Amino acid sequence: MQDTDASKALALEIQDLHSFYGESHILHGVNLKVHEGEVVTLLGRNGAGRSTTLKAIMGLVGQRTGSIKVHGIESIGLAPHQIARLGIGFCPEERGIFASLSCEENLLLPPVLMQGGMTLDEIYDMFPNLLERKDSPGTRLSGGEQQMLAVARIVRTGVKLLLLDEISEGLAPVIVQALAQMIRTLRDRGFTIIMVEQNFRFSAPLADRFYIMEHGKIIQTFSQSELSQKMQMLHEFLGV
């Protein structure tokens, strides 16, 4: 995998981001940049602020200050539904599959926000399991199928910037391999992806760049080409 061309336009630019849950100050001046077509992974121990960063990007925290530009548009003062319409999709850790709807009804539920979304045929080609289970209730799907569905319904909307929170957690190795291939396919199709992942073996080969978080701050960033040099540090810091 080659390092991302820094001359590409920025899909996301965060400057001095602070976020709060009530009186709790979680993010302390986060700065990061993600270029179009890039895959970036946020690394850190539990409680470092990685998932809160994704939620803050979407406006799903109690309070946030600083600057968050999505495709060059300032979003810090926007509501979550307005942020989504800038072309950004969030796949939360809890997936949010509707139990009373079939697999295909879940897939068709979100509105198409812009041109260029994947068609049903393209999605079913990427996820043949979903085609087989398209008439099954959402809760009858396996954990892996629910995760595939959670991502698939986002890419159908036409958004090109994806925030993925722990998509491999608790899944069988064969499903994790399928999700890794999904990431590669989406990257090849021009999607920009930010991943929060505890499974380093899953995320390491996929990412162009890595950000390490600790206590609500970015403490280090490095590229895929530097990964081998950083393994000792990652082992000590993250236990990978």
Q: What is the pLDDT of residues 167-187, one digit of tens each?
A: 999 898 998 999 999 999 999
Q: Report the alpha-carbon distance of residue 214 to residue 144 in Å, rounded.
A: 29
pLDDT score for 5:
58
pLDDT score for 75:
97
pTM of the full structure: 0.92
pLDDT score for 16:
98
Q: What is the DSSP letter of 140?
A: G
pLDDT score for 6:
59
Length of the chain: 240
Task: Let me know the angle formed at the C-alpha of 25 by 21 and 28, rounded to the nearest 5 degrees.
Answer: 130
Class of domain 10-238: alpha beta
The token pair that represents 50 in the structure block? 């990685």
User: For the chain, what percentages of helix, strand and coil (3-state, to nearest 5) are there?
Assistant: 35, 30, 40
